[in-house]
Structure 1
Amino acid sequence: MPVQFHAEQLDTPTHRFDYTNPSVTNSNVGIGLGRNGPFDSSTARDFTDATFTFVYPESWRSDAEGFEEALINGHSNYYPNGFKSFFRMDSVSVENTIELDDTDLDTYVDAVSDIQAADDDLAIVFVSDEMRSRGYRSPYWAVKALLAQAGIPSQMVLVDKLRRGSPHYVQLKYLIVNVVSQIYAKLGGTPWVIHRPRSSFDLVIGVGKSEYRSGRVGGTRRTLGFASAYQSNGAFLWYDSTRATTSRDSFNDQLTDSIVEAAEKYAQREMDPEHIVVHSYKRIGPAERDARDRLESQFDGLDVTLAHLNDSHDFRIYDDTHQSGLSKRGLWIQTGGDKGFVMTGGRRKYRPGSPVPIELQVEGSADIEEIAQGIYDLCSVYWKDQFGSNMPITIKYAEDIADIVKNAQKIDAEGVASIDIDRMVNPRLRDVPWFL
């Protein structure tokens, strides 16, 4: 017997580009940034001067120089006058260039000390798609982790995307906005946020973990957890992680502390939170529940809602009235008082769509449809891609962090490079999205 559910269309997110003026919005990120600058340009910033170090193999010099020209001076109507103008900076320059003799991992790892000596604000490192086939031995993972440990944010640029004829080629006028937005965020900026003035949530915390088992067969499994905090509009606030441990109890205790610390940081910088949502992928665990109990005891009147987000299921949503077969994005189907489906994929203009919805289940008193709206909103403030993601940044970024940490553990265990996993992220980077 068929079962029918009521479906509603959530509000379509739009992007906001001015902290002081809520009317400065645009549905197109590139146009919004070009016309208005980033969200925080109307506030006092301590990073209006920026210097970069370029790192690339000598044989890629022409690719790197072409990209540098576009980065600093602009490229096409999408990014017309360069980084300084686009992000309303005072001064931007490439101060140091490090040319490598080879493309092997050791050459990239050896360059890390030169990057540190350059002492610029950010390193722009050129890698290739071929390097991805090397697994954890790719320079991407080692350099990313080593620089994070040193407190230097990095931006990886895939050289294949710059070359015509490459299967990975992307016209620079489309690629450049994504790359520069990541760079600006890692300098400490907020490129854009979601305009949602009616949200009642102060803080959204995304929880994730990375597991690594040493040795080819058997071995000890180490688990590291982390929590990233965001305002309800998607602005990044804080990152914290546990130490790698083999003890489940120790892991849960540390992760509880990380979640609580994220809320405490918000209270120090903004105000005591009144409403917090914690996003967990796959399942809600004891760490999240313990953190909820501690926080609600610590802050008077605080309400914490736990949200379980899952896309590893057999459910699919289709629309047989559309030629693509995919449903519209933003569809919300409530299947019970505390659960439902959010269609964050669906048919899309600029990216492949997906029929897989996010299954949502909550623990708490918050309105579940408002939780669903927040999930849909946070898909549109993915600073790695101006066209957004099929997953909210709370989960998407957690996956990115887990990949970096997992590969860093392998690199350290195999003696490729020395990485202190427990202190992999320098405290100087805890309040910037270093993982982009």
Structure 2
Amino acid sequence: MPRRLHAEQLETPTHRFDYTNPSITDSIVGRGLGNYGPFDSSISRDFTDATFTMVYPESWESDAQRFQDALIDGHSTYYPNGFESFFRMDNVAVGNTVTVDGTDLNAYLDVVDHIQAADDDIAIVFTSHEMRTRGYRSPYWAMKALLTSAGIPSQMVLVDKLRRRSPHHVDLQYLIVNIACQVYAKLGGTPWVVNRPSSPVDLIIGVGKSEYQSGRVGGVERTLGFASAYQSNGAFLWFDATQATTSHSTFTDQLTDSIVTAAEKYAEREMPPENIVVHSYKRIGDAERNAKDRLEDEFDGVDVVLSHLNTTHDFRLYDDTDSSGLSERGLWIQTGENKGFVMTGGRRDYRPGSPVPIELTVEGDTATQAIAQGIYDLCSVYWKDQFGANLPITIRYAEDIADIVENTQKVDDEGLISVDIDRLVHPRLRDIPWFL
């Protein structure tokens, strides 16, 4: 039976586009990037030049060329002058083109050595929606895995999105900004962040795990855990993963190490953290609690808060005064001293909403509503989509990483490629969001 509950409105996040000036903000990502450039363009960057390797089947040349022209030279008033201008870089060009002789897995595998030999900054690989869903013979997952393990950032482009008659078509003026932002992030850049200068949190660590049954029938379940570190404004910092194991105790110890390592990387690059929040979409367990104890021993005065973000409950939030039936976004409903619901979906412009709020349970001293505000903020820093996500990046990216890991293991189990799942992410990719 429906219940009426008291809800408070969280502050609406806005996007920030300048590291040195917190007043440089915009509610629309594309407009903000066009007017101000990316968040990190006002400071010294390790890169101002970049070259791309374009990889596509010969039969898709016209699609790939149209996309390349838009990416490099610009497209419409939304992205008028291309990658260099949009991201305030000096020289950006396509360094090499690698054509694939067909659309089957073997044809793609045949060009991996050519991509490595090109030695460009990122490979832009054209596949399709159908390829992505082929399972054991998927060029999409095979190429993502092989390039990631070789230390080559890759950007997958689904050709269906470029074709107007496809049910997956996306208008190029929006698609090009989304893909360009992912490419820029994989070069090491920070396209935008959320503007929340008064956040009580320094560091947010998203924790996830991938569970996989080896073999098509039966087999032993392997578990691999991972931790991704973000500043409170959503800027990506670091990725670390456990080894795949069948031992629960080994998994717990390694995941604890990964969480602690993420905090240590923050301390190396910024300063010793004072307030850390751990987000987990799985129930909080020994790994998170052990990490909390170790971090509080290692860093003087640090406050570590553990939070469980659950979306598998039966609770739904509706608004019968709106024609969509969906509630407003950013509602916070406190149901106990350390728990409540935060509506990160709800009514949305340009993207489907959702009636499913996040059920939040917190272990720690920071006010639960402040944790909820941070969760809502992180929905607007989803660099795969300028319009944001229904979930915070700590959880959305954890799901994306698990998807990559599980599909890599499928292709690897078939014996068509050889990838050491424990070394899937090359060390030089750990400080960029390789999973976008």
Q: Please tell me the TM-score bracket, short chain as reference.
A: over 0.9
Distance 1:398 1:163 in 2: 30
Distance 2:305 2:167 in 1: 44
Q: How does 1:52-91 map to 2 (within 5 A)?
A: 52-91=52-91
RMSD: 1.0
Any conservation in 2 of the 1:5–1:334 contact (CA below 8 Å)? no
Q: Identify the residue that residue 200 of structure 2 maps to in structure 1.
A: 200
Q: CA deviation at 1:4?
A: 5.3
Alpha-carbon contact 2:208-2:282 (below 8 Å) kept: no
In the TM superposition, what is the alpha-carbon distance from 1:389 to its structure 2 partner? 0.4
Which moves more between the two structures, 351-360 or 107-116? 107-116
Structure 1 segment 89-104 matched on structure 2, within 5 A? 89-104=89-104
Q: Secondary structure of 1:40's match?
A: helix
In structure 1, distance between residues paired with 2:295 and 2:48: 36
What pairs up with 1:15-414 in 2 under 5 angstroms? 15-414=15-414
The answer (yes or no) to whether the contact 1:230–1:237 under 8 Å persists in 2 is: yes
Pair 1:246–1:77, CA change in 2 (3 A): same
**Does the C-alpha gap of structure 1 residues 32 and 136 become closer, same or farther in structure 2, counting only changes over 3 Å?**
farther
Distance 2:96 2:209 in 1: 36
Q: Is the 8 A contact 1:17 1:193 kept in 2?
A: yes
Q: Does the Cα contact within 8 Å between 2:226 and 2:255 map onto a contact in 1?
A: yes
Could you state the TM-score of these two structures normalised by the residue count of structure 2?
Answer: 0.99
Give me the whole-angstrom Cα distance separating, in 2, the residues matched to 1:349 and 1:423.
Answer: 40
Contact 1:55/1:123 (<8 A) preserved: yes
Alpha-carbon distance in structure 1 between the residues aligned to 2:371 and 2:111:
45
Cα drift, residue 136 of structure 1? 3.8
Structure 1 gaps, min length 5: none
Q: Partner of 2:40: helix, strand, or coil?
A: coil
Q: C-alpha separation between the residues in 2 aligned to 1:159 and 1:217?
A: 33
The 2-side partners of 1:80 and 1:218 are apart by 53
> Counterparts of 1:146 and 1:170 in 2: how far apart (Å)?
28
Secondary structure of the corresponding residue to residue 41 of structure 1: helix
Runs of 4+ in 1 over 3 A off after TM superposition: 1-5
The answer as to whether partners of 2:132 and 2:141 remain within 8 angstroms in 1 is no
In structure 2, the residue corresponding to 1:223 is in which secondary structure? Answer: strand
TM-aligned CA distance change 1:71 to 1:323, over 3 Å: same
What is the TM-score of this pair, normalised by structure 1?
A: 0.99
**1:132 offset after TM fit, Å?**
2.7
Supply the AA of the counterpart residue of 1:409.
Answer: Q
Secondary structure at the counterpart of residue 92 of structure 2 = strand
Task: Evaluate the alpha carbon distance shift between residue 368 and residue 132 of structure 1 in structure 2; reply closer, same or farther with a 3 A threshold.
Answer: same
In structure 2, C-alpha distance between the alignment counterparts of 1:154 and 1:165, rounded to whole Å: 27
CA-to-partner distance for each residue in 1:250-274, whole Å, 9 max, x for gaps? 0000000000000001001110100
CA, structure 1 residues 2+421, in 2 after alignment: closer, same or farther (shift >3 Å)? closer
The letter of the residue matching 1:40 is: D
